[in-house]
Amino acid sequence: MYSESVLLESRSARSGMSHHVEVLDKVKTLALAPDGLHATTRDVAAYFEVSEKAVYNVARRHREELENNGLRVLQGPDLQEFATFNLRVSNANAKSYPQRQRSLALYTRRTVLNVAMLLRDSEVARRVRAYLLDVEAEAAPVSSALEPRVAKLESAVGDIGAMFQELGPVIHRMSVRMERIDRRMANTERLVCEMSRRTADMGEEMRGMRTDLDHVMRATVVEPVRRRGEG
């Protein structure tokens, strides 16, 4: 079971808990953009009740980790598109309207949870970490109960792998034999085709011989008749 200090120091521990975004709502409501998916730096700072600079510093120090969990920094056309479709302009926030900024950081709920596991000087972040540790503690008995089954499954998979390794040479020999049979079948088909062609040729020759024989027989019968008629 992890401790709060482990969450603060271990990236792998944070990675293992980054999917429990439901704990955010157990602490307080997170304001999101109209798309329902993203929060700005101002929204994240308001959630954790810290300054925007504190959130910015966390994002700067752990940018790669946060990007792996959904952090995006919009600029240019992407920023313009987000501003057009997701933010409403009013006199109260005109100075912070993204069109007047060069970039805008967007946090998903997963990113915000990641920030909660990094932000030290926030009571809200501490409460989020406490909920995370409770979730982990509740899941630990289930995980322990599953470990023997997972071990058996891994053993079975290993046995199957060994079996396939043993079958490999046999399958190879069968494949070689099948290739030989295929070649023999192909040769047999060629021979049958050749025999069929020759048989057809012989049929043509026999029909020609029969025609010639008919002509000879007719000539043999007609010639004696002519001679008797002349006599």
Strands (E), 9-90: 39-40, 72-75
Strand 39-40 relative to strand 103-107, pairing:
antiparallel
Give the domain range for residue 109.
4-149
55 exposure class (CB count in 10 Å sphere: 0-12, 13-18, 19+):
buried
In the block, tokens 């040479």 appear at 169
102, 51 contact by CB (below 8 A): no
Residue 43 lies in a domain: yes
Rounded Cα gap, residues 13 and 27, in angstroms? 21
pLDDT in tens, 116-144: 999 999 999 999 999 999 988 886 554 45
pLDDT in tens, 161-184: 777 777 778 787 888 888 888 888
Residue 74 lies in a domain: yes
pLDDT in tens, 3-31: 888 889 999 999 989 999 999 999 999 99
Residue 154 lies in a domain: no
Which is nearest to 115 in space by CA: 189, 52, 164, 176?
Answer: 52
Residue 95 lies in a domain: yes
6 exposure class (CB count in 10 Å sphere: 0-12, 13-18, 19+):
middle
pLDDT in tens, 78-116: 998 888 877 654 334 444 444 467 889 999 999 999 999
Residue 175 lies in a domain: no
Number of domains within the chain:
1
